Structure 1
């Protein structure tokens, strides 16, 4: 499961949610009644979309001095759907709430802003005939599951430096390890482990959690660091290659059916609040070295590498 946070300030935007398939009826508009929620609480889905957010049609010719401008009710590619009750820390944008019938349909673009920094982050849809849903903007939020894994890794390290494999794992963990653990040669080794990978584990295993039950992958021996399944899958199997046909561009949907993983558009910055709350749960009476790190991050929540 993951929590989504504001990409601008790091404030938590959602409850803990697990990914499910996008319902086939997500784009349906039916009747004049108030419909139910598109998704069950505690879940989220990703819509590949068509990549044309809120584009206006060509204006209609002026009639009696009035020009009518209509909008497509759609959104950007890879927007994230969640149940309205799972939203946290948002406020409405008043100027984007007009022109509807029994609620809001999102025709004017994102109508929810981060309560902390004011950045538009999502669109609430609850007008008659529409399935009730909140669409998170893919470039305005980011998943923070890795912050939980970072806290687990830190506790397991016992204050000794940990080596991490190159690639996505290093991008997610190395800056934090450099900031929080002592300098010097690594004394422990973090290894990706899980279904489809080598069973050889020399020290600490970074393993997936079941996307529905949260159960930690049972095949790893020794010390394990659990990680959200979708994040683990990207780290384990993505090679960052960009496939390109010999001529023209890549047709939509050629690479695979699923949308690409939700990745930060800047250097990865784990969420400090999630990190601290996980540390408190894992080590309610921390050792002195861990307490120093806790106090440092608590007193300087925007220190590198945290958001």
Structure 2
């Protein structure tokens, strides 16, 4: 179903026609000091269930009981006391809004929303949204759920089946020019890593050599205790044979956010963003066999060498801690110890 969001005060339209998708795993990521692209794909929106924006309360002022009631089970620096349910859209999909000049603060190169909503309805002046486009942030407009209302149009959109997703969804390449790991990969791997740690039960996990080991092997070896391997990890999902392992990485549906369900009796499943899972499952990284001779005259070389990373893949520490702190399993002493060690030394 395509939706338009309108001002709750005067009814003016504030967005283009949008389709709801799952909340991106990189929503709460902050990366480097670069200007990042838009968080949401054009023509889509997602809903963030967590409170967002000021005022912020430090952990000492919240306490473990109140935090647990909000779904946070390990200490975090601070929690928002803003409203939950913000509607996230790409900045280019907004319509009929103007900046509120006195709220256009930021840290470096743009707006970071520190002063609260900084976009108003151009027709009636009501504060309706917060634009965030400073360095380190994925660019996004967060519509205030109390200041807008949704206007549905048309019937419900069909949910793509897994065969369509595997066929049509573009895999996310892991390396960006000139050789850094994609922040999208660092966030997706971090979220899956948190669930992998919980699924391990504190036991060492064996990861097969290849792309899976590149993505998860080093982190699992560094975070789980030394000792004999107790569990094994493999990819599972549509188009792959069922592996005989203890833990499987399965894709998350990009529309619904639901994880692919393995057959009954299969191993425990850990979700991974579909575009990263698709790359790991189906990308053919084999090199062409060298051939003799030269290209004919007038034929240009069109197969540049693949990008190689500057260093090892480091899952995003902030995203990993954010996800770990919201897993009930983090209350187990062994997993809480990993959380606390990461909090003290996130690198």
TM-score w.r.t. length of structure 2: 0.48
Q: Tell me the distance in 2 between the aligned counterparts of 1:6 and 1:232.
A: 22
**What is the number of residues matched between the two proteins?**
200
- Is 1:8 the equivalent of 2:32? yes
Does structure 1 residue 292 correspond to structure 2 residue 337?
yes
Matched residue of 1:249: which SS?
A: coil
| Aligned positions of 1:96-175 closer than 5 A | 114=135, 139=177, 142-143=183-184, 144-175=187-218
Q: Give 1:289 deviation, angstroms.
A: 1.0
- Point out the structure with the larger helix share: 2
Deviations 1:92-124 (A, max 9, x none): 379xxxxxxxxxxxxxxxxx65259xxxx98x9
Match of 1:268 in 2: 313
Alignment check: 8 A CA contact 1:2 1:16 kept = no
Indicate conservation of the 8 Å contact 1:6/1:12, yes or no: no
Bigger RCO (CA 8 Å, 6+ sep): 2
Tell me the TM-score normalised to structure 1 length. Answer: 0.54
Partner of 1:46: none
Deviations 1:7-27 (A, max 9, x none): 536x9968975xx6xxxxxxx
Given that residues 16 and 42 in structure 1 are in contact (C-alpha distance below 8 angstroms), is that contact kept between their aligned partners in structure 2? no
Indicate which of 218, 224, 237 corresponds to 1:194. 237
Distance in structure 2 (CA, Å) of the matches to 1:194 and 1:287: 29
Offset of 1:291 from its aligned partner? 1.1
The structure in which a higher percent of residues are strand is: 2
Counterpart check, 1:39 vs 2:39? no
The structure-2 alpha-carbon separation of the partners of 1:162 and 1:285, relative to structure 1 and needing over 3 Å to count, comes to closer
Unaligned runs of 5+ residues in structure 2 are: 1-23, 48-88, 94-105, 112-132, 142-175
Conserved 8 A contact 1:41-1:85 = no
SS of alignment partner, residue 45 of structure 2: coil
In 2, the alpha carbon distance for the partners of 1:233 and 1:286 equals 32
Matched, 1:250 2:250: no
Task: Give, in angstroms, the shift of residue 42 of structure 1.
Answer: 3.9
CA RMSD of aligned residues (A): 4.0
Q: Give 1:234 shift.
A: 0.8
Instruction: Verify the 8 A CA contact 1:209 1:216 in the aligned structure 2.
Output: yes
1:238 maps to 283
Q: Does 1:205 align with 2:226?
A: no
- Kept in 2, the 8 Å contact 1:209–1:226? The answer is yes
Q: Give distance in 2, aligned partners of 1:12 and 1:158.
A: 39
Q: CA deviation at 1:278?
A: 1.1
| Shift of residue 274, structure 1, vs aligned partner | 1.2
Is the 8 Å Cα contact of residues 189 and 272 (structure 2) preserved in structure 1?
A: yes
